[in-house]
Amino acid sequence: MLTGAYALLFYVATLVLVGGIGRKVVQYARTPAPLKIPTTPAPVTRGGVVMRYVREVVLFESLFKANKWIWLFGWIFHAALLLVLIRHLRYFTEPVWAIVALMQPLGIYAGFAMVAGLLCLWARRFLVPRVRYISAPSDHLMLVLLIAIGVSGLLMKYIFRTDLVALKAFFLGLMRFDIQPLPADPVLLIHLFLVAVLMIIFPFSKLLHAPGVFFSPGRNQVDNPREQRHLAGWTAKLGAGQ
């Protein structure tokens, strides 16, 4: 019963996540960018744009320029999240990839770093009047959700241990459409439920910044309007200056 419900939940969550993001990505890709509007100075080649993105996505370059605190907390959170996600791959791969196995110890610290980063980001929403002013309930709840996921995960690691072998069998089974029993530990169930919620709201929320950043014309356009006539959307219909 419980196993069945969770299996269904994760199938639905995965569908919504993949389908929802896919739909958005297609929508972004199809919406034209009729004019050249990169924020300059901008790269003058495609390769330059790729490098701009590497700096932006790996180092959060613009955020670093803007505000060192947000940068620090935000970067710690995202880097830690990445490590934690990589660490979780061990529940979905058999045999576990060498790189994932290697990251295990790091993943633990990352769990704490992630929660710490999130708490600091949340504190800003209360303590900095400017940020408080722009925060909607959903902005608080998103942080609460992520913190709850992190904390329940850490609780399982250190206090309420769960049957990891059975858990892994459950997920490997899900991937083969062969449902295996899920351990009925409350903390695990909470953790998994919250993750599924996160997956479901992803495509309907500001988490769209993850795919969205790659479609930002201010960042992804090559600065070459004089060399190449840019035509898209309504400007594609323009003739030769008629």
Partner 1 sequence: MSEAATVEQPLSVEDFYDATVLPDPCEIPVIEPGAMADSKPYEAAPEFQKALGFPGELVDDWHEKAIAKLGELVEGSRALRVYLDTCVKCGACTDKCHYFLGTGDPNNMPVARQDLLRQVYRKHFTVAGKYFPWLVGARDLDEEVLDQWYSYFHQCSQCRRCSVYCPYGIDTAEVSMAAREIMATVGKGQKYCNEIIGKVETIGNNLGLQKKALVATLEDLEEDIEDETGVAVKIPVDKKGADILLVTPSADFFAEPHIDGLIGYAKVFHQTGASWTISSYASEAANFGLFIGSNENMREVALRIRTAAQDLGVKRIIFGECGHAWRVAYSFLNTLAGPFDFLDQNYPVPQHICEYTYDQIEAGKIKFDKSANDHIRLTFHDSCNVARGSRMGDTPGGQFEIPRTIIRASCNHFFDMAPDTIKESTFCCGGGGGLLTDDLIELRKKGAQPRMRALQQVAQDHGVTHMAAICAICKTQFAKVMPDYGFDMDAILSVHQLVSNAIILDDAKTDQPEAGDGDNAQPAAAQ
Minimum CB separation of residue 192 from partner 1 in Å reads 23
**Which residue in 12, 18, 40, 54 binds partner 1 (CB under 8 A)?**
40
| Chain residues 67-86 in contact with partner 1, contact rule CB under 8 A | 67, 70, 74
Residues 194 and 228: their CA atoms lie apart, in Å, by: 49
**Interhelix angle for 137-158 vs 186-201, to 10°?**
150
Return d(Cα 21, Cα 15) in angstroms, integer. Answer: 10
| DSSP structural state of residue 97 | P
Q: Is the peptide bond before 95 cis (omega within 30 degrees of 0)?
A: yes
Interacting residue with partner 1 among 88, 157, 168, 230 (CB under 8 A): 230
Residue 120 near partner 1 by CB under 8 A: no
Cβ 87 to partner 1 shortest distance, Å: 24
Looking at the Cβ atoms of 7 and 143, the one nearer to partner 1 is 143
- Containing 138, the helix (H) or strand (E) segment is helix 137-158
Contact between 105 and partner 1 (CB under 8 A)?
no
- Residue 218 as a binder of partner 1 (CB under 8 A): the answer is yes
Is 205 an interacting residue with respect to partner 1 (CB under 8 A)?
Answer: yes
Q: Cis (ω within 30 of 0) for the bond into 129?
A: no
Q: Give the CA distances from residue 87 to residues 106, 142, 148, in Å, rounded to whole numbers and listed in that order.
A: 9, 22, 18
Q: Is 119 in the site for partner 1 (CB under 8 A)?
A: no
Q: CA torsion, points 66, 72, 77, 80, in degrees to nearest 10?
A: 130
Rounded to the nearest whole angstrom, what is the least distance from the CB of residue 28 to partner 1 in the complex? 6
Q: CB of 37: closest distance to partner 1 in angstroms?
A: 6
Q: Tell me which residue has tokens 């990445």.
A: 82
Q: By C-beta, is 10 or 202 nearer to partner 1?
A: 202
Q: Which of 21, 63, 79, 116 binds partner 1 (CB under 8 A)?
A: 63
Site for partner 1, residues 42 to 61, rule: CB under 8 A: 42-44, 48, 56, 60
Token pair recorded at residue 42: 């901008």
DSSP 181-218: PPP--HHHHHHHHHHHHHHHHGGGSGGGHHHHGGG-HH
Residue 41 burial (CB < 10 Å; 0-12/13-18/19+)? Answer: exposed
Q: Does 31 bind partner 1 (CB under 8 A)?
A: yes
- Name the one range near partner 1 by CB under 8 A: 11-19, 79-87, 134-142, 175-183: 134-142
Could you list the residues that contact partner 1 (CB under 8 A)? 24, 27-28, 31-37, 39-44, 48, 56, 60, 62-63, 65-67, 70, 74, 124, 128-131, 133-139, 141, 204-206, 208-209, 212-213, 215-219, 223, 225-231, 233-235, 238, 240-241
